[in-house]
Structure 1
Amino acid sequence: MLTAKDSILLIVDVQGQLAQIMNQTAQLHHNLSILISGAQLLDIPIIWIEQLPNKLGQTSPELVRLLEKSTQPIAKSHFSAWQCQDIQTQLKQLNRPNVLLAGIEAHVCVYQTCQDLLEHDFKVHLVADATSSRSNDHKILGIQMMMNLGAKLTNVESTLFEIQHQASGETFKALLKLIK
């Protein structure tokens, strides 16, 4: 069972024009907003990654407004976030075994990041409805590839409620407001 104390959220490359041409981009951004807000509510650390932001652009503005409340972006040039020393350092310092993985594109950067995380003994929980690619076929294939590697498949609502554990308290009420 996931807990807030053993989990981290990794947001991969939701930036620039590319983010706007993802399959079902409005739903993707909506789900990412809920996931980010829920992680902040549950005090789950967030690592925010951008692929070559000087070339591909900044993270989508509606996500920046949420993310900058608790973190700053880390730029990378490899497809896999693990290949960035700053990201490795943060993951090791946080020392949390469960990585909630979301972002774009499922079949490239998210997939390669997942592969490296699994190879370095992290448990990857792919938040499928907060992950996308330009085409639905590529998204589906990327998800299948990650599951074949050993990633666990989840969605925004299941993840947040699993971490919350119980249907009571102020945090639960705040999560309900986010999801509805």
Structure 2
Amino acid sequence: MLTLSDTGLILIDVQGKLATLVANSNETLGAVSTLIQGSQLLGLPVIWVEQLPDKLGATLPAVAAHLSGCEPYAKSTFSALGNSVISQAIASTGRKDWLVCGIEAHICVYQTVCDLLEKGYNAHVVSDAVSSRNPEHKALALDKMQRSGAVLTCVEMALYELLQRADIPEFKAILPLVK
């Protein structure tokens, strides 16, 4: 079970034109935005990464708007953990469970998840908040990540798992996000 004290969120490469070209782009971007908002309401650390932002563009404004108080980490490696600054930022949180969302599922998300698992973290891939240009590539990535030890979840499942109860103020704050 995910817990508030042990969980963080890693947002991967929701940038530029590519973010609008992935399969089910609108639904994926909506799920990513909901996950970010819910994570922030619950006080989870958010590690926000961008692949070569000077070349690929910044995170889409509609997503970045929900990241107040956060700064993106630029990377050139496909895995976020291939960048020592990002790897250290993840380690410094002391969290062992990481929700992972972003694009593309079969490249940067996949390689980040593999590195999280290799370093002893628990990777929870938020299936409705990841995508690839080709839906078959996303399906292959989800299957391979799960077989490697990652846990598949969805935005609503993860947020309710973190909440664990309905009689707390955080539930009332998150309810409109998932409705």
If the TM-score is normalised by the length of the shorter chain, which range does it land in? over 0.9
Q: How does 1:44-123 map to 2 (within 5 A)?
A: 44-67=44-67, 69-123=68-122
Partner of 2:7: 7
AA aligned to 1:133 is: S
AA aligned to 1:169 is: I
Q: Secondary structure at the match of 2:100?
A: strand
**How far apart are 1:112 and its partner, in Å?**
0.5
Partner of 1:153: 152
CA contact (8 A) 1:40 1:70 kept: no
Partner of 1:135: 134
**How far apart are 1:4 and its partner, in Å?**
1.2
After superposition, give the CA deviation of every residue in 1:88-117 in whole Å (9 maximum; x if it has no partner).
111111010001001000000000011011
Extract structure 1 runs of 4+ deviating beyond 3 A.
none
Q: Secondary structure at the match of 1:66?
A: coil
Q: Which whole-Å CA distance do the structure 1 matches of 2:166 and 2:134 have between them? A: 36
- Where structure 1 has 5 or more consecutive residues not aligned to the other structure, the ranges are none
Alignment: residue pair count: 179
AA aligned to 1:58 is: A
Partner of 2:29: 29
Q: Which whole-Å CA distance do the structure 2 matches of 1:169 and 1:116 have between them? A: 35
**How far apart are 1:131 and its partner, in Å?**
0.3
**How far apart are 1:173 and its partner, in Å?**
0.8
With normalisation by structure 1, the TM-score equals 0.98
AA aligned to 1:165 is: Q
Q: Which whole-Å CA distance do the structure 2 matches of 1:130 and 1:22 have between them? A: 11
Task: Give the helix-richer structure, 1 or 2.
Answer: 1
Identity, in percent, stands at 45
Cα RMSD over matched residues?
0.6
AA aligned to 2:105 is: A
